[in-house]
A and B are shown apart, each in its own frame.
Chain A
Amino acid sequence: MKTFLLPDLGEGLTDSEIVAWRVKEGDAVELNQPLADIETAKAVVELPSPYEGTIAKLHAAEGETVDVGAPLIDFDVADDDAPAPSGSDESATDASAHDDPAPSPEGGPVATPADTVAEVRDAPAPEEKPEKVSVLVGHITVHGGKPTRKRRAWDVEPFTRQERPSGRPNRAMPPVRKLAKERGIDLQSVRPSGRDGLVTRADLETAGTASGPQAQPQPASTREKVTGLRKHTAAAMTQSALTVPHAATFHQVDVTETLALARSGDASFLALASRAILLAAKRWPDVTAAFHADTMELERFAHINLGIAVSTDRGLVVASIDEAESMDALELTAAIKDRATRAREGSLTMAELTSSNITISNVGVFGVDGGIPILNPGESAIIALGAVRRMPWEHEGEIVLRDVCTVTVSFDHRVLDGREAAGFLADIAAVLERPALALAR
């Protein structure tokens, strides 16, 4: 088993996002076969397989951000070329390599079993055991044109230079050494995590807590690193909240007829509500426009890409149903179900996670009436559907129990004024109240 840690794919990057996996667990892969598309701060790049073998485990889901140095993939590597022993030819010829002079190009080393030489001569290139460490030992040069057998004698030398780091004392920068002294921590007892075995401040924190044998008091607070989707959401929401002037408007709507329609057929209530939103958005096209502050431009889209906010174990994602205006309620029901399922699996594509231009958030599933949602970055409106409640309501001149739901629209006040937002919301409400109205729209 080999664990591949995410390398720094740019210069000085700290993390990267898994855009798409091209393999799954259990797949057999070749050396340098593309395994994944990974997005760094600089580019989307292909990750070629570092081993030939089988994928035992993928440590991250698509869309997840992985820290540089964190485990990414476990491989089952059949031909174990790790320094672990078992390489009988290695140990067998070890001594002879030191004692015997370099073999002539034609004859193998004297003490080497004949089959070892034959193996080298006959093995097809991809099957050959890697020349590995030998090429560096004693600064022996690697040269493209040299015949394999010539190098054979050098292969058996052990890799000695690795001993050097283990004999070195731990080192640390002066402030860290001072801190260690203050706390009475022996630097040599700390496990260094920095480059070249450097002890860092964080290592002292770990050492400090780990070495205390007495019962630790319960800390007043704990901190954990915010990573992955949570980190994305934090950045997106901060950016949206701080750069977009939000305003919101609410409406309580009698959705009894829409709910009856949902119960009588195969279209879900959310899909029917989406239809109402899409019909309204067609009448108020700027609700799907994007405001570009850098160029002072308003971008209008030919289609309505309806984003569905989905709460997953890993956090909130907005999955787009592209060109939703061309779908009927049954198609929308299926599309919403598909997006929700795949959002929870983490199998949405990057395009599906980024292409929406208006978002619907069904906060009613949490039992609340509403709230003021923060806009999905780049969009001008987000609709929150509250819980549907059975409550006393005026209906045809009498007070009766009706199914009522609060609909909230948050909007970008640079794009829309109250008039447009209210008009948009009133149109949504009108269709939800009287679904038959959709026939006329």
Chain B
Amino acid sequence: MEIAHDAVVAFSKSWGLFYLVGFSLCVVAYAYWPGNRKAFTHAKMSVLDDDDRPLGDRPLGDRPLGPEA
């Protein structure tokens, strides 16, 4: 199968643009989605937690939350 050079150029100049714009809109929507705020804040704070043990079977709420609490 021969892929013509012009066809590749046309494809990348049109669909390449659209999918990247669409993709970036999705990323921004995901980052700013109000429902995600809680998870992001938790993740951002949880690395500061000095509890240096795996959680194992302990439930998630059973540990000090650090500065977040």
Say whether A associates with B: no
Q: Mark B residues whose CB is within 8 Å of A.
A: none
